[in-house]
């Protein structure tokens, strides 16, 4: 079975721009969660999608949004980028919910200049 895939792997943007990241979960997995990983804050939960609905949300500003498609693929969007948004963005999929065993993708490394 193919693992979780994320595109692009690396991205460089400037302040004020917006960015869209993509995640394809493991086949059959219906829950997709997004995390931000930074050296200072560690792994922080952004949101979880299940059946095209946002089911849980972490403590991030509204500039961070996401969606899930009928095939469970998910995208996250960050608008009006700030320098502090530079991070590794990880997507994880699981069968039913983020409390189940999660399988992570390789991440997208976002650098904001």
Partner 1 sequence: QQQVKQSPQSLIVQKGGISIINCAYENTAFDYFPWYQQFPGKGPALLIAIRPDVSEKKEGRFTISFNKSAKQFSLHIMDSQPGDSATYFCAASSGGSYIPTFGRGTSLIVHP
Chain contacts with partner 1 (rule: CB under 8 A): 4, 42-45, 48, 55-56, 58, 90, 92, 97-99, 101-107
CB of 79 or CB of 103, closer to partner 1:
103
Q: How near is the Cβ of 80 to partner 1 at its closest, in Å?
A: 26
For partner 1, the closer of residues 43 and 113 by Cβ is 43
Cβ neighbours for 53, distance < 8 A, ≥ 6 positions apart: 68
- The count of other CB atoms within 10 Å of the CB of residue 8 is 12
Residue 24 in contact with residue 108, Cβ under 8 Å? no
Nearest to partner 1 of 65, 79 (CB atom): 65
If the CB atoms of residues 16 and 99 are measured against partner 1, the closer one turns out to be: 99
Shortest reach from residue 95's CB to partner 1, in Å: 12
Q: Break the chain down into helix, strand, coil percent, rounded to 5.
A: 5, 55, 45
d(CA 58, CA 107) in angstroms, rounded, equals: 18
């Amino acid at each position: 079975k193919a693992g979780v895939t994320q595109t692009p792997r690396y991205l460089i943007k400037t302040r004020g721009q917006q960015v869209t990241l993509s995640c394809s979960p493991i086949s059959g997995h219906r829950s997709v969660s997004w995390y931000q990983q930074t050296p200072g804050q560690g792994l922080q939960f952004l949101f979880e999608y299940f059946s095209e609905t946002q089911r849980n949300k972490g403590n991030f500003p509204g500039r961070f949004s996401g969606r899930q498609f009928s095939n469970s693929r998910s995208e996250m969007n960050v608008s009006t980028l700030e320098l502090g948004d530079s991070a590794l963005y990880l997507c994880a999929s699981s069968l039913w919910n983020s409390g189940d065993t999660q399988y992570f993708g390789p991440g997208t490394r976002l650098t904001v200049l």
